[in-house]
Amino acid sequence: MSRNTIDWIGLREFISRAEQVPGEIVHIDNAHWDREMSTISHELCRHHPRPVPAPIFDNIPDYKPGFRTMYAMTNSMNRLAIALGMEPNYHHEMKFLQDYREKAKEMADVDAIDPVFVEKSDAPVMENVDRGKDVDLLKFPVPKHHEYDGGRYIGTATSFITDNPGMGRKANLGAYRVQVHSANEAGVYISPGKHGALDIDDYWQRDERVPVAASFGQDPILFYYTSVGIEHTH
Q: 169 or 77: whose pLDDT is higher?
A: 77
Do β-strands 185-189 and 152-155 pair in parallel, antiparallel, or remain unpaired? unpaired
**What global pTM score does this model have?**
0.88
The pLDDT tens digits for 164-177 are 988 888 899 999 99
Q: Is residue 3 scored above 50 in pLDDT?
A: no
Q: Comparing C-alpha atoms, which of 106, 56, 103 is closest to residue 82?
A: 103
Query: For residue range 90-149, what is the model confidence (pLDDT) as tens digits?
Result: 999 999 999 999 988 887 777 777 888 888 887 778 889 999 999 999 999 999 999 999
Query: Order of strands, edge to edge, in the sheet holding 185-189?
Result: 152-155, 177-182, 185-189
Residue 9: count of CB within 10 angstroms of its CB: 14
Give per-residue pLDDT as tens, 17-41.
999 999 999 999 999 999 999 999 9
Other beta carbons within 10 Å of 76: 23
Count CA within 13 A, CB hemisphere, residue 115. Answer: 2
CA distance 218 to 24: 19
Q: Which residue has the higher pLDDT, 88 or 8?
A: 88
On whether the CB atoms of residues 158 and 175 are closer than 8 A, the answer is yes
Can you list the positions of beta strands (E) in 53-157? Answer: 54-58, 69-70, 152-155
Q: What is the mean pLDDT of residues 62-81?
A: 96
State residue 115's pLDDT score. 80
How confident is residue 2, by pLDDT bands cut at 50, 70 and 90?
very low
pLDDT tens digits, 145-163: 999 999 999 988 899 999 9
234 has a pLDDT exceeding 70: no
Averaged pLDDT, 70-99: 94
Class of residue 80 by CB neighbours under 10 A (exposed 0-12, middle 13-18, buried 19+) = buried
